Amino acid sequence: MLEPFDDTYFMKKALQEAEVAYEKGEIPVGVVIVVDNKIIARGHNLTETLNDVTAHAEMQAITAAANFLGGKYLQNCTMYVTLEPCQMCAGALYWSQIAKIVYGARDKERGCIHLNTKLHPKTIVKGGIMADEASKLLKRFFIEKRNLN
């Protein structure tokens, strides 16, 4: 049986957020931010809904976590995100001083790790958690989008 508070548990919660984005016609990326084994923020892409190119899942969750904590720094937090963050989100994560980023699927074109984007020196990064599930959801979304056009 699965331990209740491991990386897979929280990535499943992030995948649930990605499903919400998928249902809204958004690129299915989801995020949860955790502190002390408690989810304090959730987010999913809202770029189409808000007509805002900065409304990535990570940005939504960073704002929600900062509001929850009452401060801009996420030094004791872990972000679980279904897709490797882009450079824009990596910049925001740098400034938030987040302790750890755990991502699912790699983004070989725009991902911050692939592009060697600088993160905060204290930030730990771990990738590949439930990568297959995250990749399948993204692929399904883009196949459906292409078939509609």
Binding residues for Zn(2+): 56, 86, 89
CA–CA distances in Å: residue 125 to residues 24, 44, 77, 100, 135: 29, 20, 12, 6, 19
User: Cα angle at 22 between 16 and 24, to 5 degrees?
Assistant: 110
Is residue 144 annotated as part of the catalytic site, yes or no? no
Map tokens 């690129």 to a residue. 27
User: CA 43 to CA 67: how far, in whole Å?
Assistant: 13
CB count, 10 Å around CB of 30?
Answer: 31
Catalytic pick among 58, 84, 109, 144: 58
Q: Give the residue numbers annotated as catalytic, written as ranges.
A: 58
